[in-house]
């Protein structure tokens, strides 16, 4: 089923002509160099008081591709969240997007521990997106000795804030 799915920088997602409050947009680094995709983009949105969504997207140069199947979210505390494919997919302007449901237990888990990685399947292969994003470079004596500086997103605190969960 293809529906209107969109991510917004204003911490909202749009699904079925309704806006849902969401976390910041997180960009996770894919585990392999890929000619067809950029890094995985992910947001958690609040559906109601206790339940939510995970919206994931990848930029794909292959118009026949889409994200489907089970989405597996690994947390830093080694717990795992399994999201079933509800067949909510979209492909617009070379962006493949899929929406997955989060139950109240999943939301609580995500509020207690940061996401370490996310495993997903495209039409052609399976991938893992790691919670690592580029924040800049550290330079030595010259530009040739530059090293990338990477950090992890603090996803648990954003989910806690979004759902107003008291700790």
Q: Kindly report, residue by residue over 115-161, the tens digit of the pLDDT.
A: 999 988 876 667 667 766 554 444 455 444 444 555 788 999 999 99
The β-bridge partners of 26 are 42
φ, ψ of residue 43 in degrees (nearest 5): -140, 150
Longest CA pairwise span in the chain (Å): 54
CB crowding 108-145: b at 16 or more within 10 Å, else e? ebbbbbbbbbbbbbbeeeebbbbbbeeeeeeeeeeeee
Q: Are 28 and 118 within 8 A, CB to CB?
A: yes
**Domains in the chain: boundaries:** 5-163
Per-residue confidence (pLDDT) for residue 52, from 0 to 100: 97
Average pLDDT value for residue range 76-99: 91
Q: Are 49 and 56 within 8 A, CB to CB?
A: no
Per-residue confidence (pLDDT) for residue 100, from 0 to 100: 96
pLDDT band for position 16 (cuts 50, 70, 90)? confident
Angle at 21 between CA 122 and CA 92, to 5 degrees: 35
Average pLDDT value for residue range 54-66: 78
Q: Has residue 15 got a pLDDT over 90?
A: no
The pTM of the full predicted model, rounded to 2 decimals, is 0.82
pLDDT band for position 34 (cuts 50, 70, 90)? low
Q: Has residue 18 got a pLDDT over 80?
A: yes
Per-residue confidence (pLDDT) for residue 58, from 0 to 100: 84
């Amino acid at each position: 089923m293809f529906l209107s799915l969109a991510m917004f920088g204003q911490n909202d997602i749009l699904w079925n002509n309704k806006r849902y409050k969401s976390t910041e947009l997180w960009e996770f680094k894919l585990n392999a160099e890929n000619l067809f995709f950029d890094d995985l983009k992910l947001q958690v949105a609040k559906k109601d008081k206790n339940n939510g969504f995970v919206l994931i997207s990848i930029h794909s140069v292959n118009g026949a591709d889409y994200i489907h199947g089970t989405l597996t979210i690994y947390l830093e505390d080694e717990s795992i969240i399994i999201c079933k494919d509800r067949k909510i997919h979209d492909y617009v302007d070379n962006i493949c997007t899929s929406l997955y449901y989060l139950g109240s237990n999943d939301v609580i888990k995500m509020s207690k521990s940061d996401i370490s990685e996310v495993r997903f399947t495209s039409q052609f292969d399976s991938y893992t997106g790691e919670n690592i994003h580029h924040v800049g470079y550290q330079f030595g004596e010259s530009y040739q000795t530059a090293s990338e500086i990477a950090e992890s997103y603090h996803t648990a605190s954003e989910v806690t804030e979004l759902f107003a969960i008291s700790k």
